Amino acid sequence: MAAYIVRRMFLMLPTLLGILFISFVVVQFAPGGPVERVIAQLTGADTGGTSRISGGSGSDFGARPPGQVGSGGDTNSKYRGAQGLDPAFIKQLEKQFGFDKPAPERFALMVWNFARFDFGKSYFRDTSVLQLIKEKLPVSMSLGVWMTLLTYLISIPLGIRKAVADGSRFDVWTSAVIIVGYAIPGFLFAILLIILFAGGSFLNIFPLRGLTSDGWSDFPWYWKIIDYFWHLTLPLVSMALGAFATMTLLTKNSFLDEIRKQYVMTARAKGCSENQVLYGHIFRNAMLIVIAGFPGTFIHAFFSGSLLIETIFSLDGLGLLSFESILNRDYPVVFGNLFIFSLLGLAINLVSDLTYMWIDPRIDFEAREV
């Protein structure tokens, strides 16, 4: 087991390197860039993005500015909208953003810095990338962790119950509710919840901004917990809707497949009770496919799935930070988030594999070829 874990951890290194390399190459051909972003803001031509200019960072990240194919010629001709600006100013911008170095050197420096968890400073925010991630992490962690736990704690028992009562009235009406819930987009359901319960047109029960109320640090400990979950209720319900439906049906179908197998009939013939058959024999086999979906569920909730929910409920998390950074061409933040997301995803995949063994000790990792 220890040897398998070590091998998997070593395999994370080339995987992370490959993710960064491919993303870096793609970004080289992306239109726009931080230099053009600054030029557009200075000339009044910028209509997109969300961040203001707040000074340089000296970081060595980012894309090749469009048109930068050689070292000769007029510097201003490399950038759309730069005509009339001082070439020395443009060169200063290139140096400020690290574009005075060739792409291979920028990539090598980025990898070296990332190996030390040094993500540099944001181009357009006067703070380090790591500090930005630390500030936004509690929101994304709250949404991701609690949504995943809520989904599994409800979906697995419900899926088992539906498998045992397959074809019954309970199974039919719960399936109808689940399918309808799955068909409703999460952001649309979030808007409906706001209208109904957050002062939209009917009740005003739940708050619409942040994870805590003003003065939260002065609350008693028990009221802090209540206030925290009070703010999380609507976002969690909105996010869990689609994942809840998927996990419930996955659990049901997995248990149905196992219930029909020969070993289940053998266990019943030996006199085992239904609970012994269900939880002593079927459970560990049926749960393998459910566990396999855990990394995807968590990563989706933690990162991509939270973007619209964070925006709708004014929750300043990593999803919103990444989206704004892409719009603003804030490449240190983009690549820093990408590195953190990828590393966490690989670690969760390893934990998922190890959980397989906990559920079914017959799985032998030492015998596997990684």
DSSP per residue over 203-237, as a string? -B-S--SSSS-TTGGGS-HHHHHHHHHHHHHHHHH
DSSP structure class, residue 282: I
pLDDT at 172: 92
> Any alpha helices (H) in the chain, and if so which ranges?
2-28, 34-43, 87-96, 103-115, 129-164, 169-183, 186-197, 221-259, 262-269, 274-275, 283-292, 294-302, 307-312, 318-327, 331-359
The CA radius of gyration of the chain, in Å to the nearest whole number, is 26
Number of other CB atoms surrounding residue 318 within 10 Å: 26
pLDDT at 22: 92
Q: Phi, psi at residue 128, to the nearest 5°?
A: -75, 155
**Residues forming beta bridges with residue 198, ordered by sequence position:** 204
User: Rounded to an integer, what distance in angstroms lies between the CA atom of residue 143 and that of residue 323?
Assistant: 17
pLDDT at 18: 92
Segments of the chain scoring below 70 in pLDDT:
1, 31, 41-86, 200, 292-293, 295-296, 299-306, 359-370
pLDDT at 217: 84
Residues 258-284 as b/e (b if ≥16 CB within 10 A, e otherwise) read bbeeeebeebeeeeeeeeebbeebbbb
pLDDT at 192: 87
Closest of 33, 69, 104 to residue 332, by C-alpha: 33
pLDDT at 226: 92
pLDDT at 362: 67
Residue-wise pLDDT tens digits, 24-36: 888 877 767 777 7
pTM metric for this prediction: 0.71
Closest of 244, 245, 239 to residue 312, by C-alpha: 239
pLDDT at 322: 82
Question: What structural domains and CATH numbers belong to the chain?
Answer: 2-124 (no CATH), 130-327 (1.10.3720.10)
pLDDT at 310: 82
